[in-house]
Amino acid sequence: MTLSTCTYSPSCPASTAYRLLAEGTEQFVYHTAVADFVTFGSDGAVHVEVTLPAGAGVAAVHPLRRGIATERTGDTLRFTLPGAGNYVLQPEGVNPLFLYVNPLDLNLPAAGAHVRRIPAGTVADAGKITLKSGETLCIEPGAVLRGALRISNAENVTICGGGILDGGWSEAHHKPGPRDRLLVVEGCRNVTIRDIVLIQPESWMLVIGACRDVLIQNVREIGRIVGSDGIDVVGSRDVLIENCCIRNNDDGICIKSTRGDSPLGVDWRGDVENVTARGCVLWNAEAGNALEIGHELQAESVRHIRFEDIDILCVHGQGAPFSIHNGDRAVVENVVFENIRVEHHYDKLIDFRIMRSRFNHDEQRGQVRNVTLRNIEVDESIFNPGYTISVIGGWDADHTIEGVHFENFRLGGRPVLKPEDLPLYTAHSKDITFH
């Protein structure tokens, strides 16, 4: 087994809560206000030893379906990670530790005229950053780029490298005035964003607005503020999101269509089609939903949306793991949630509604039809029964939700075979089936 270690600048904030050894080699544990994280590379299983914060309670490694056993002696926890992937160590009573294990080869680009490189072990304070067609931004492992990045009206652009893009938000240093979205790609085609860590945004974390042919792969995110949406796909087509790990305080992966804030006049509104998110790990704090379509849907259609093979570790607030909020005129259709595990939810489980909110602009209401929830496993806590509900509600008799199909949906180990098993409350809806 071979291990690669990141070396950071001494100015980077080190965790005072956790100490971590991977195969006996100490790794730098990076600190943020809501979670610490560590990044390293491996070509196989990795034995890990973590010193926990004083007073930490029972600790588990998530996703739980990976079955990672732990052995604890005092404040020392030992376990083996199976290889590259995204994992979360959560001891009771303290902030979690995210473990981002990369493959050894991150396919870093060779030097060239169109490659911008942030070297390992450095911190670059760049402010507002832009990229042009054909350019590659490589933030190397152990490098930190501080600023907000926007790519407009470009094609064939890549962001990669294994390093960190830091929005710099903190309560102590928050600037007055409008907040910058951390990474915006607008009016672009053929864009790849892979193998980077996004932290501390002032607003939405990663936005894909009015784009075609976008790959988002192995991106990790930690956000604190309300409004730190994880990945917003806005008025875009042919987007693949895979193997990402999102910890934020608003919607995790979200499908929208809205005007946007482009200084160059790029209008993000448009139909959304062929969007797939798979192999991801999601953590929602007090605000937002894990997998969301809406609220802003100023388009004719939103269709062919797939969420598959996803671990939702928690939705702590009033949101839901599965949500569609159609507040504008769009017809939302052919949506699939498949092979999804939910470890914890609080208020709502399923929330599909045609509605009107402060986020919406169209006078006409839309439709929702042909939604499938297949092979879903939801853990249940002692706090869920009698409190957690599900909602499927249209606007009126002409603006309905039709064709919602539950196939092998299990809650607390029990099959859901009728509305009362959730329980599910409905209005202006038709053709809801259970199998």
| pTM for the structure as a whole | 0.96
| Alpha-carbon dihedral angle through residues 293, 297, 302, 307, given to the nearest 10 degrees | -10
Q: In this structure, what are the phi and psi dihedrals at residue 376, rounded to the nearest 5 degrees?
A: -110, 130
Beta strand pairing call for 123-131 and 389-393: unpaired
pLDDT (tens, 9 = 90+) of the chain, 435 residues, equals 799 999 999 999 999 999 999 999 999 999 999 999 999 999 999 999 999 998 899 999 999 999 999 999 999 999 999 999 999 999 999 999 999 999 999 999 999 999 999 999 999 998 899 999 999 999 999 999 999 999 999 999 999 999 999 998 765 566 667 788 999 999 999 999 999 999 999 899 999 999 999 999 999 999 998 889 999 999 999 999 999 999 999 999 999 999 999 999 999 999 999 999 999 999 999 889 999 999 999 999 999 999 999 999 999 988 999 999 999 999 999 999 999 999 999 999 999 999 999 989 999 999 999 999 999 999 998 888 888 999 999 999 999 999 999 999 999 999 999 999 999 999 999 999 999
Task: Set out the domains of the chain in order of their start, with CATH numbers.
Answer: 3-102 (2.60.350.10), 115-434 (2.160.20.10)
Question: What is d(CA 285, CA 290) in angstroms, rounded to the nearest whole number?
Answer: 10
The pLDDT tens digits for 267-283 are 999 999 999 999 999 99
Question: What is d(CA 254, CA 361) in angstroms, rounded to the nearest whole number?
Answer: 18
Question: What is d(CA 167, CA 32) in angstroms, rounded to the nearest whole number?
Answer: 12
E strand map for 181-330: 183-186, 189-194, 197-199, 206-209, 212-217, 220-226, 231-234, 237-242, 245-249, 253-257, 272-278, 281-284, 291-297, 301-315, 322-326
